[in-house]
Amino acid sequence: MAQNTKRLLEILTAQPVVPVVAVSTAAEGVDLARALVAGGIRSIEVTLRTPAALDAIRAISEAVPEAICGAGTVLTPKQLDQAEAAGAKFIVSPGATMELLDAARSSSVPMLPGSATASELMAMIEEGYEILKFFPAQQIGGAAFLRSIAPVFPSLRFCPTGGISIDNVRDYLSLPNVICVGGSWLAPKAAVAAGDWDTVTRLAREAAALSA
Ligand SMILES: O=C(O)C(=O)C[C@H](O)[C@H](O)COP(=O)(O)O
């Protein structure tokens, strides 16, 4: 089995929404993780889009043990190695390349690769995957796309991400082939920059209360 489905499911079913965050310092990452955990959100995807991301993953793993901190925007085998070394508990990629899938196969950290078309989904089934990110969800067909492919790909379940907010999240969570969604709306840039952790905790609590 290419994908550690059991562990990935534990991580993704911990809550209906996995926050996708970009942090400017490790300390900011720790504060943000604490604010999310206070609102009942434990699994957090720290994207490798900022220079501070790997340090933040390391710092969150040490300082916020209740959090399950993963790495997002993992595009290359090197980034996968770096994220694993930093203590990432799961790996998320917007897509999938053969190189990345090969690297994931020899890693003990569960991987959530992205797919966007029927052919990509078929390729991922051939690779042994059952749980996929669907990215960018809202822009490539949204909940209607996932509803139409459910009978064609009954073995697959999804974490749609991209363009999801509190206004449309229920459309996704009501689908049987959706485990959870990813979204950045729990950590608004302005609130994070201002250190307004109460707002983050409030948004996290609202998201945690949604039913998957
Ligand atoms: O960096 C990645 O690996 C991504 O997949 C991108 C993120 O998932 C989206 O940026 C989140 O989408 P929004 O909630 O619309 O902000």
3-state secondary structure of 106: coil
Residue 69 falls inside a structural domain:
yes
Decide if 53 is inside a domain.
yes
Residue nearest to atom 2 of ligand 1 (CA): 73
Taking residue 30's Cβ as centre, other Cβ atoms within 10 Å add up to 19
Q: Mean pLDDT for the chain?
A: 96
Q: Is 134 in the pocket of ligand 1 (CB under 6 A)?
A: no
Query: Residue 1's pLDDT band (boundaries 50, 70, 90)?
Result: low
Positions annotated as catalytic residues are 45, 133
What's the total number of domains in the chain?
A: 1
How many Å lie between the centroid of ligand 1 and the Cα of residue 183? 6
Query: Is 90 exceeded by the pLDDT of residue 212?
Result: no
**pLDDT digits over 38-73, tens only?**
999 999 999 999 999 999 999 999 999 999 999 999
- For residue 212, with 0-12 CB atoms within 10 Å meaning exposed, 13-18 middle and 19 or more buried, which class applies? middle
Q: Which residue has the tokens 């139409």?
A: 148
Distance 6 CA to ligand 1 centre (A): 24
**In a domain? residue 71:** yes
Q: Residue 208: inside a domain, yes or no?
A: no
CATH number for the domain spanning 130: value is 3.20.20.70
For residue 129, is pLDDT > 90?
A: yes
Task: For residue 139, give its domain range.
Answer: 5-194
Half-sphere exposure of 107 (CA within 13 A, CB side): 25
Confirm or reject: Cβ of 161 under 6 Å from ligand 1.
yes
Residue range 17-38, pLDDT digits in tens: 999 999 999 999 999 999 999 9
Q: Does residue 200 lie within any of the structural domains?
A: no
| Torsion sign, CA atoms 67, 207, 112, 178 | positive
Count CB-CB contacts under 10 A for residue 126: 9
Q: Which residues of 149-162 are buried (b: 16+ CB within 10 A; e: fewer)?
A: bbeebeebbbbbbb
For ligand 1, atom 5, the nearest C-alpha belongs to: 94
Residue 74 in any domain: the answer is: yes
- Please indicate, yes or no, if residue 209 is contained in any of the structural domains: no
Within a domain: 210:
no
Question: Which residue from 17, 134, 161 has its CB within 8 A of the most atoms of ligand 1, so it is best to mutate?
Answer: 161
Residue 65, exposed/middle/buried by CB under 10 A (0-12, 13-18, 19+)? Answer: exposed
Distances in Å between the alpha carbon of 118 and those of 57, 139, 147? 33, 15, 13
ipTM of the shown complex: 0.93
**How far from chain centre, in Å, is Cα 3?**
15
Give residue 4's pLDDT band: very low, low, confident or very high (50, 70, 90): confident
In the chain, alpha helices (H): 5-12, 26-38, 53-63, 77-85, 98-105, 118-126, 142-149, 169-173, 189-194, 197-208
